[in-house]
Amino acid sequence: MTARTAPRFLTPLAAATLAAAFVVAWVGWRPFAADKAVPVPAVAHGETPAQRTDLSDTDRRRVADVTRPTRDFTRPEPFETMAGGAGTSTAKPDRAGLTHPAGNLDAAGEERFRLGSALFEKLWVSSPSSTQASDGLGPLYNARSCETCHIRDGRGRPPVGTAGSPSLVLKFLFPETVESVVQTAGDPVYGRQLQDSGVPGLPAEGHLALRYEERPVTLAGGERVSLRHPVYGTKGLAYGPLDSATRLSPRLAPPMTGLGLLEAIDPADILAHADPDDRDGDGISGRASWQTASADGAPVLGRFGWKAQAATVRAQAADAFATDIGISTPDDPRSHGDCTARQSRCLALEDGVQARLGSSEAPDPVLELVAFYARHLAVPARRNVAAPAVLAGKQLFSDTGCASCHVPKFVTRRDPTSPSTAFQLIWPYSDLLLHDMGEGLSDAVSPSDPASADAAKPRPGEWRTPPLWGIGLAQTVDARAGFLHDGRARTLTEAILWHGGEAQAARDRFVSLDAANRRALLAFLESL
C-alpha cells in the first residue's frame, strides 16, 4: 500500500481524549450520498444570522465556549495539535504529508478513498481510444489528471522561466462580470480559460506569458525583502486575438487540505463573522459569496475556490473536470470542455461518452468517488505547538490582526454529508469569507497593458480567506510550491507583504515588528 493510500489510525489514548472533549460524535458508517448543499436564505446586511439548527442548547453553549478566541498564550489550547479533529493525520510530516486519508474512516471508507485516489491520479486520453472509460480528454485542456495540478494534494507550482505550469491557469473575464461574485463569462472565442494543450490534430489555444519585476521592501531593523510583481499576458494565440474587453485572471491550484471539514462548517457560523458594511469599524468587512443552486435556484453559500465560487466539494470537482481536463460528468455535461461555439474544429471532434456507461465521460460513481477522496484527505497534525517561539508567534498572529480573517477554529455540524466529519473541533484559520485585499492583488488585468492599473480599472482584489492548516508543510511537500492565488510569493514573508486592503493594517504591523518577533510569527505559521 502506498503512502498516499495507507490508512492512519488514532492511538487509543488520542481517540479517548478526543471523545471526552466532544469533538467527535461517531455514529457508524452509512453509504455515502452525493453532496447536498442545503439552501440557506441570504442574510441582509446588518441582519443577525440564524442560529445553528443541529445543536441542543447545551451543545450550543459548549461550542461557543470551545471556539471562543483564547487569551492565554502561555501554553497550547486543548486539542490544538489535532487540527483536523479525530481524522487528523499523525503521519510523518514529509513529502507525502498531505496525502493521507482521514484517520477516522472505517474499512469501507478507506476502500472508497483508495478508489477515489486512483481516479484523482488517472490520466485521461483523447477519443476515440481502445481504453474505454478513460477517453474524452479535452479536446482542449490544461491537464490530463487532477494530480497534475494538485501536486501530492498540495498547492500548485508557479511557472519557472519561460516554461509553463499546468498548476497555473489563466482565466478570462469580461468587464461586466468583474463586479459580480460569480465570474463565469469568458472570452467569446477562448471561453473561460486559456487551454495550453490540445488533442492530436488540434492546436492548443496558446500559452501564458509571464515575467516578474523585482521590487524591494524594507522591514523594521533594515531587513530587505524582494517582492515579485507579475506581469501577465498571452503568446501564440492560435484562434485569433482575444476580445479587446477580455481581462486576464491567473489562478494557482489550491491545496486539497481538509475540504470535507470546511464543507461541514455550519453556514450560520461562517455568517457570524461577516460584516460587509464594517459596522464595527475595525476595517474588516468580509462578506459571504452566495451562489445559485442548480436544482431550485435557491442561494447557497460558496466556500471553495479562490473566489468561494463553489458551494460543495463535488461542485468544485465537476467544474475542474470539465474546464481543466475537458471531461464531462453528470453535474457538468460539457463533453467538449471549455470549447466555445466559435471553435468549430474542437466541437466536431469525437467525445468520450460511452452510451452503455451513461451520458457523460465520467459517469457516476467517478465524480462521487473523486469528491469522496477530496473530502477525506486528512489535515496534518500541528507540530511544535508548545515551543516558546510558536506560542509567542501565535499571540503576535492575534495581536497584529491576522486572526480577524484567519479565524482559528470551528466545530462542524452534527449532520454533515459524511459521518467522519461530524461534530469535530477543527482549526482551519479561515472565515471562508470574501475580503478586499487591495490593488496589488487585483483579480483581473488588461491583456493589452498588464502592468497598468488604469487600463481596466478593476475593483480591488477580493478573495476568500485561504485556510492556513497545512501551510507549514507546503514546501516540504513540494519545494517549488508558491503562495497566494497566483504563486507569486516564494516565502510566507512575501505572502504577508502582499496583503493590502482590509489586511493592510495587519501587514504594516508585521513590517514594524523587530526581527525576533517576525521570526516567531513565521514559526507559528510553519507549525500549522
Tracing cell 481536463 back to the chain, one arrives at 325
Of 183-197, 209-223, 253-267, 385-399, the range with the lowest mean pLDDT is 183-197
Answer yes or no: is 225 within a domain: yes
Q: Where are the alpha helices (DSSP H) in 400-479?
A: 474-477
- For residues 432 and 265, give the distance between their C-alpha atoms in angstroms, rounded to a whole number: 10
Burial tier of 259 (Cβ tally within 10 Å: 0-12, 13-18, 19+):
buried
Average pLDDT of the segment spanning 276-292: 91
Confidence of residue 294 (pLDDT cuts 50, 70, 90): low
Query: Domain tally for the chain?
Result: 1
Residue indicated by cell numbers 460539457? 334
pLDDT at 176 over 90: no
Q: Which residue has the higher pLDDT, 174 or 399?
A: 399
Asked whether residue 61 is assigned to any structural domain, the reply reads: no
What is the value of pTM for the model shown?
Answer: 0.88
108 in a structural domain:
no
Residue 86 has pLDDT above 90, yes or no: yes
| pLDDT tens, position by position, 124-159 | 999 988 877 789 999 999 999 999 999 999 999 998
| Residues contacting 409, CB < 8 A, separation 6+ | 66, 67, 425, 426, 427, 428
Q: Compute the Cα dihedral for 442, 448, 451, 452 and give only its sign.
A: negative
Is residue 369, in this structure, part of any structural domain at all?
yes
State the burial class of residue 516 (Cβ atoms within 10 Å of its Cβ: 0-12, 13-18, 19+).
exposed
Q: Count CB atoms within 10 A of the CB of residue 128.
A: 13
Q: Could you tell me the maximum CA-CA distance found in the chain, to the nearest angstrom?
A: 68
Which of the four pLDDT bands, split at 50, 70 and 90, describes residue 459?
Answer: very low
Q: What does DSSP assign to residue 26? A: -
pLDDT at 162: 65
- In a domain? residue 412: no
The answer to whether residue 172 is domain-embedded is yes
> What is the spatial distance between Cα 151 and Cα 165, in angstroms, rounded to a whole number?
12
Length of the chain: 528
**At 450, is the pLDDT very low, low, confident or very high (cuts 50, 70, 90)?**
very low
* Domain presence at residue 100: no
Structural domain of residue 313, as residue ranges?
A: 120-253+291-373
In a domain, 141, yes or no: yes
Alpha-carbon gap, residue 391 to 321, rounded angstroms: 41
